[in-house]
């Protein structure tokens, strides 16, 4: 049996729970988990916000650990290697998306938790547990230079912002706006800056200005201040919108210049009020979205962070405090990502 934390219903919260992990198949890597980040998606699944949770659910898709055993056909990893698992543990491996290393867009992808194993149809359990077994093709190497706890959120929050900035071509001299400064937003600032862009953070609260500059933003625009928004009109090439709740996109569209690209990575559903088509047409703007990243790009993201000394800002916690951590996240009281130290599970949490 493997110790884990699971929610057994939408109102139960998380509590200790024993799960079975499969014996490694020939292509599998078994991993002792050291750290697991807490993503907002975990809360949505635990509380069944999207109506698709299969209970019991063991959340966690920002996983860092050490390889403890490998299957007979594993060539990429050896026991002792430090590795990471993100949001995906398998995909169809036959479609165009999979061929292109874009497993996140495969319709047969298997989520790290609440997914269905393609071979035995069992429901997958995530990283709030002492160990996990994953096909080697869905495991990435964690460079030695990275702090393992601070690297955990790169597997979701990091790649979610890295991938679109890369894909849509942000580079030196571009002007990038980042909307929101939570787990995703602060990573967006760091990546856009590292790619050579001039970075503007949009925030509703004046208090966040100094902190945004510390994170690497060049400018801060207080979005609730109309004069500041007007002064920012037509001044940006890209906007990375990380806000996961409903908000009006139109004031931000006004800050894009001709051919600007607006990228949604939070998921405000539905987008209300409606997007002003006139702004899109009269400035040839593109409205886009992006989902995490594929396996090759996730590895690239970790390597890039090691090379450029980029880390997520985290607060470590013991797993017995996970329910309180959720409450604090719902109130926005975390800078910027909680990461569970999984030693706390073994020591009897």
What x/- string results for residues 106 through 135 when contact with Zn ion is judged by CB under 5 A? Answer: x-----------------------------
Cα 248 to chain centroid, rounded: 23
Quick check: 291 binds Zn ion (CB under 5 A)?
no
State the pairing for strand pair 131-135/88-90: unpaired
Q: Rounded to the nearest whole angstrom, what is the least distance from the CB of residue 159 to Zn ion in the complex?
A: 9
Rounded Cα gap, residues 227 and 221, in angstroms: 10
Quick check: 243 binds Zn ion (CB under 5 A)?
no
Q: Which stretch binds Zn ion (CB under 5 A): 3-11, 87-95, 219-227, 298-306?
A: 87-95
Q: What is the b/e burial string over 96-131, where b = at least 16 CB atoms within 10 angstroms of the residue's CB? A: ebbeeebbbbbeebbbbbbbeeeeeeebbbbbbbbb
Asked whether the beta carbons of 132 and 64 are under 8 A apart, the reply is no
CB of 152 or CB of 287, closer to Zn ion: 152
Rounded Cα gap, residues 195 and 197, in angstroms: 6
Residues 137-196 that bind Zn ion (CB under 5 A): 156
Quick check: 91 binds Zn ion (CB under 5 A)?
yes
Q: What single-letter DSSP state applies at residue 101? A: T
Size of the site for Zn ion (CB under 5 A): 8
Q: What single-letter DSSP state applies at residue 105? A: G
Q: Rounded to the nearest whole angstrom, what is the least distance from the CB of residue 36 to Zn ion in the complex?
A: 11
Residues 29-58 that bind Zn ion (CB under 5 A): 39, 41
Q: Rounded to the nearest whole angstrom, what is the least distance from the CB of residue 336 to Zn ion in the complex?
A: 13
Q: Rounded to the nearest whole angstrom, what is the least distance from the CB of residue 330 to Zn ion in the complex?
A: 15
Helix, strand, coil distribution of the chain in percent, nearest 5: 30, 25, 45
Q: Which of 15, 43, 69, 92 binds Zn ion (CB under 5 A)?
A: 92
Contact residues: Zn ion, CB under 5 A: 39, 41, 91-92, 95, 98, 106, 156
């Amino acid at each position: 049996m493997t110790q884990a934390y699971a929610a057994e219903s939408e109102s139960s919260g998380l509590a200790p729970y024993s799960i079975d992990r499969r014996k490694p198949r020939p292509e599998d890597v078994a991993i002792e988990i050291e750290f697991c980040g807490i993503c907002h998606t975990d809360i949505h699944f635990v509380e069944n916000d999207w109506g698709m949770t299969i209970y019991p659910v063991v959340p966690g898709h920002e996983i860092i650990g050490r390889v403890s055993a490998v299957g007979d056909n594993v060539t990429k990893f050896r026991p002792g290697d430090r590795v990471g698992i993100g949001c995906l543990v398998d995909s169809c491996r036959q479609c165009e998306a999979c061929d292109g290393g874009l497993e996140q867009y495969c319709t047969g992808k298997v989520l790290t938790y609440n997914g269905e194993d393609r071979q035995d149809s069992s429901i997958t359990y995530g990283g709030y547990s002492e160990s996990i077994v994953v096909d080697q093709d869905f495991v990435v190497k964690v460079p030695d230079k990275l702090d393992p706890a601070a690297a955990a959120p790169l597997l979701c929050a990091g790649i979610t912002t890295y991938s679109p900035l890369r894909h849509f071509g942000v580079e030196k001299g571009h002007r990038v706006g980042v909307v929101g400064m939570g787990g995703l937003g602060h990573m967006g600032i760091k990546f856009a800056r590292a790619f050579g862009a001039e970075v503007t953070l949009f925030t509703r609260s004046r208090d966040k200005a100094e902190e945004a500059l510390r994170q690497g933003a060049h400018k801060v625009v207080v979005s609730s201040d109309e004069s500041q928004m007007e002064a920012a009109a037509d001044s940006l090439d890209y906007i990375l919108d990380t806000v996961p709740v409903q908000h009006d996109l139109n004031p931000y569209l006004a800050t894009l210049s001709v051919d600007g690209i607006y990228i949604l990575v939070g998921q405000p559903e539905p987008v209300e009020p409606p997007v002003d088509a006139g702004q899109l047409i009269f400035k040839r703007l593109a409205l886009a979205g992006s989902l995490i990243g594929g396996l090759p790009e996730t590895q690239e993201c970790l390597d890039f962070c090691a090379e450029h000394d980029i880390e997520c800002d985290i607060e470590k916690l013991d797993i017995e405090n996970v329910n309180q951590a959720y409450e604090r996240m719902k109130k926005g009281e975390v800078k910027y990502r909680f990461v569970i130290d999984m030693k706390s599970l073994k020591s009897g949490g």
